[in-house]
């Protein structure tokens, strides 16, 4: 498991138009970098919430359940795409931390080539097979048509997913998390407007919600291109850097493919779980869909901390400032634990109001709201383990040990598989409530000692070399 941490410094002054995370207070740097990511994630989840609210309110419970039943395969495929793009940005952050501008541009060009290839390949495979996947998941027959109409359009939009995520990932790799935020805000409001137009005005059904998501992400990707051309000369690729480079592609794949597989492996457990949950009927699927939408919104700070630690770790390893890794882990842990407690208190008092946004209580769905609130509260009680899953796993990935993160994903898969095979059939809805908490605990049991191992390996690899520890 060779790790590339010895980077040649080829630029006297270093790449420009970014923010170095190798100097200054880790707490301040992590906060400054993660807050734009947080707001970006919030806006991204906001338009996901709007999708769900409009579907549930205007198209009914079965349409809502149909969209919810696609969640696991959506995570399986789209999560892989996003993970690959995140992994491709890690060598770029290493080069930026090491002030290797030539290496940065070389990896950037080859990341674009690989992203285009992955986008075409994945789109062809999953578009053809998505109906069969839904059938294998035991999707209830009365919502199968809704599920297929939604996920087929989402899968056709995979190239747009790659476009936005690879470009925004490269911008974040050089320390700018604010620009992707602005683009996500624009995309979010655009998505809401398209939702209303496609579903309410044009009556396109659930496929309209999917089309709104794809088009808004495509426009965000195109805006990334314009912004990079105008504001980030370090991300401009000259003719001398455009040639395909086998070694650069190998390094990118060593980072990107394991990171994508980590998401997919985790999602396999969700697929097993979803298959069991689907047997409980459309009503249960709809209640879990509503609570998951709220949970994803509430958990945005954990995602932001994770993405921050990947960039923070990558830049500091590139700069050979290893002591800052521990300081960054401490700072992010304090933030994660504090937010977990606040989120639990908020959910305890407002859980029914939150899930009620997606379900019309006047239509006799009071029991569904009660179940969704219970699901949300149980999950929130285990947010501290979730915080560590994101912080430690992404830090390990950022410093160049993606395969250890995959093993953590395997444990999450096993835990959700156990829940799907044993807990849900025997305990029904209650078993589904504890599936994710079980997965987070399994992952943490591996990630904590894994980080200790990574720190030891990094010290051994750099033993005897001059480190600039601050």
Q: Report the percentage of the chain scoring pLDDT > 90.
A: 52
* Nearest by Cα to 458 from 310, 316, 306, 257: 316
CA distances from 384 to 35, 38, 150 (A): 19, 17, 33
For residue 8, is it within any domain? no
Q: In which element (H, E) is residue 286 found?
A: helix 282-298
Look at the alpha carbons of 224, 227, 233, 239 in this order and tell me if their dihedral is positive or negative: positive
Give pLDDT tens digits for 99-140.
Answer: 899 999 999 999 999 999 999 999 999 999 999 989 988 888
Residue 55 CB-density burial (10 A; 0-12 exposed, 13-18 middle, 19+ buried): buried
Least confidently predicted of 247-261, 362-376, 439-453:
362-376
Residue 131 — φ and ψ, nearest 5°?
A: -65, -45
CA distance 224 to 438: 38
Query: Over 90: is that where the pLDDT of 329 sits?
Result: yes
Phi-psi sector, 17: left (phi>0), alpha (psi -120 to 50), beta: left
pLDDT at 95: 92
How many CB atoms are closer than 10 A to CB 469?
A: 11
Task: Check if the beta carbon of residue 468 is closer than 8 Å to that of residue 320.
Answer: yes
For residue 6, is it within any domain? no
For residue 4, is it within any domain? no
Give pLDDT tens digits for 241-294.
Answer: 889 999 999 999 999 998 888 778 877 777 788 788 888 887 788 788 788 878
| Residues 6+ away with beta carbon under 8 Å from 44 | 184, 187, 188
For residue 3, is it within any domain? no
Dihedral of the alpha carbons of 325, 329, 331, 334, in degrees to the nearest 10: -170
- Average predicted confidence (pLDDT) for the chain: 87
* Nearest by Cα to 316 from 108, 67, 153, 93: 93
Range list of H helices, 399-462: 402-418, 424-427, 429-433, 435-461
pLDDT at 289: 78
For residue 467, is it within any domain? no
* Nearest by Cα to 253 from 46, 402, 407: 402
CA distance 121 to 182: 30
Dihedral of the alpha carbons of 271, 277, 282, 286, in degrees to the nearest 10: -80
pLDDT at 11: 38
Quick one: tokens of 45?
């989840």
CA distance 331 to 333: 5
For residue 447, is it within any domain? yes
DSSP 169-208: HHHHHTT--HHHHHHHHHHHHHHHHHHIIIIIIS--THHH
Query: Over 80: is that where the pLDDT of 457 sits?
Result: yes
Query: Over 60: is that where the pLDDT of 5 sits?
Result: no
CA distance 151 to 124: 14
**Rg of the chain over CA atoms, in angstroms?**
22
pLDDT at 2: 36
Report angle CA 301, 303, 306 to the nearest 5 degrees: 110
Query: Over 60: is that where the pLDDT of 9 sits?
Result: no
For residue 50, is it within any domain? yes
Q: Output the 3-class SS for 78-126.
A: HHHHHHHHHHHHHHHHHHHHCCCHHHHHHHHHHHHHHHHHHHHHHHHHH
Domain count, the chain: 1
Helix pair 144-156, 158-173: axis angle to 10 deg: 50
* Nearest by Cα to 286 from 147, 379, 149, 386: 147
Instruction: Provide the domain limits for residue 233.
Output: 26-461
Task: Check if the beta carbon of residue 15 is closer than 8 Å to that of residue 176.
Answer: no
Average pLDDT for residues 357-371, to the nearest whole number? 69
Least confidently predicted of 63-67, 92-96, 129-133:
63-67
Q: In which element (H, E) is residue 339 found?
A: helix 323-355
Task: Check if the beta carbon of residue 304 is closer than 8 Å to that of residue 38.
Answer: yes
* Nearest by Cα to 57 from 403, 412, 358, 408: 358
Q: Report the percentage of the chain scoring pLDDT > 70.
A: 91
pLDDT at 259: 83
Average pLDDT for residues 195-202, to the nearest whole number? 90
Task: Check if the beta carbon of residue 149 is closer than 8 Å to that of residue 63.
Answer: no
CA distance 256 to 86: 7
For residue 41, is it within any domain? yes
CA distances from 306 to 244, 245, 394 (A): 31, 30, 5
């Amino acid at each position: 498991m060779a790790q590339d941490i010895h980077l040649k410094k080829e630029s006297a002054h270093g790449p420009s138009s970014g923010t170095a995370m190798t100097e200054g207070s880790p707490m301040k740097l992590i906060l400054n970098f993660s807050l734009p990511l947080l707001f970006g994630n919030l806006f991204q989840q906001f338009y996901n919430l709007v999708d769900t609210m409009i579907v549930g309110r205007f198209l009914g419970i079965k349409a809502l359940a149909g969209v919810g039943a696609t969640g696991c395969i959506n995570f399986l495929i789209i999560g892989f795409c996003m993970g690959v793009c995140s992994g491709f940005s890690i060598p770029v952050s290493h080069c930026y931390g090491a002030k290797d501008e030539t290496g940065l541009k070389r990896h950037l060009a080859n990341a674009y080539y690989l992203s285009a290839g992955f986008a075409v390949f994945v789109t062809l495979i999953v578009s053809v097979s998505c109906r069969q996947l839904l059938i294998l998941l035991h999707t209830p027959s009365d919502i199968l048509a809704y599920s297929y109409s939604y996920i087929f359009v989402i899968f056709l939009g995979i190239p747009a997913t790659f476009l936005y995520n690879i470009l925004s990932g490269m911008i974040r790799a050089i320390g700018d998390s604010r620009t992707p935020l602005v683009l996500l805000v624009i995309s979010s409001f655009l998505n809401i407007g398209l939702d209303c137009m496609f579903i309410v005005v044009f009556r396109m059904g659930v496929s309209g919600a999917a089309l709104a998501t794809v088009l808004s992400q495509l426009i965000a990707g195109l805006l990334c291109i314009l912004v990079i051309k105008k504001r980030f000369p370090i991300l401009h690729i000259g003719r001398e850097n455009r040639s395909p480079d086998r070694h650069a592609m190998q390094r990118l794949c060593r980072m990107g493919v394991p990171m994508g597989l980590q998401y997919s492996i985790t999602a396999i457990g969700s697929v097993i779980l979803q298959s069991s949950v689907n047997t409980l009927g459309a009503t249960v699927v709809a209640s879990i869909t509503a609570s998951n939408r709220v949970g994803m919104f509430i958990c945005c700070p954990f995602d932001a901390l994770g993405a921050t630690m990947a960039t923070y770790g990558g830049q500091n390893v590139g700069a050979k400032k290893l002591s800052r890794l521990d300081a960054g882990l401490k700072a992010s842990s304090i933030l994660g634990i504090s937010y977990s407690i606040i989120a639990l208190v908020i959910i305890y008092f407002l859980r029914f109001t939150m899930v009620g946004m997606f379900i019309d209580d006047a239509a006799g769905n009071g029991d569904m709201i009660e179940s969704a609130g219970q699901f949300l509260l149980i999950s929130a009680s285990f947010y501290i383990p979730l915080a560590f899953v994101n912080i430690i796993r992404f830090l390990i990935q950022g410093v160049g040990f993606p395969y250890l993160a995959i093993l953590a994903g395997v444990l999450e898969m096993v835990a959700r598989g156990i829940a799907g095979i044993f807990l849900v059939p025997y305990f029904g809805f209650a078993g589904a409530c504890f599936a994710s908490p079980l997965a987070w605990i399994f992952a943490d049991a591996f990630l904590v000692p894994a980080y200790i191992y990574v720190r030891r390996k990094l010290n051994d690899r750099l033993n005897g070399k001059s480190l600039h520890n601050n």
